[in-house]
Amino acid sequence: MKNKLLIIGASGHGKVIADIALKMNKWTNIAFLDDDVSIKSSMGIEVIGKSDKAITNIQEYDIFVGIGNNSIREKIQKKLEAEGASIPFLIHPSAIIGEKVELESGTVVMAGVVINCCTKIGKGCIINTGASIDHDNVIEDFVHISPGSHLAGTVKVDHGSWLGIGSIVSNNVNITSGCEIGAGAVVINDITEPGTYVGVPVRRI
């Protein structure tokens, strides 16, 4: 871990990443990169260049991808990994993290989140504000669990899926990769085909 942090993306999601990083109080210097050259600063934090500048700063900075889109975040993080970047995970101080919870690089756990024991969360995930993930869950790489979502015990969410705000997943349910679960949706059975699912209980649309 380095004492400087570079965040790729200075818009909405990136701002929340910066806020969490500031509250963690682990970095003496935080800066943004963003491809919108009209953005000179965000939250009072300087934008020091475009995203392609990340590679030239690998030796000096930890680097975090503050982009909400799962596929774009994955593409950028994998490129950084291939170049040997130091990619931390971030945890808001108000989050509650159980025993034997595993978090991988590039994942952020936001304010008010509860993750109970023996859960594994992969690379580049977003566990958003006020979400809860109960015991023995497996959240694979580059998943987004939106604000206020609640996952019961022994849930598995496969690579790159997105659970909308306020969604609920019953216990012992598997959700395959490439799924989008709508806001307020309730998942009570396994989802085995990629697609968009909405409703209570969910149906594919």
Q: Name the catalytic one among 92, 135, 144, 159.
A: 135
Q: Is the bond leading into 147 cis (omega within 30 degrees of zero)? A: no
Residue 145 in contact with residue 165, Cβ under 8 Å?
A: no
Active site residue 159: no
Q: What angle do CA 48, 22, 121 make, to 5 degrees?
A: 100
Point out the residues that are catalytic.
Answer: 135
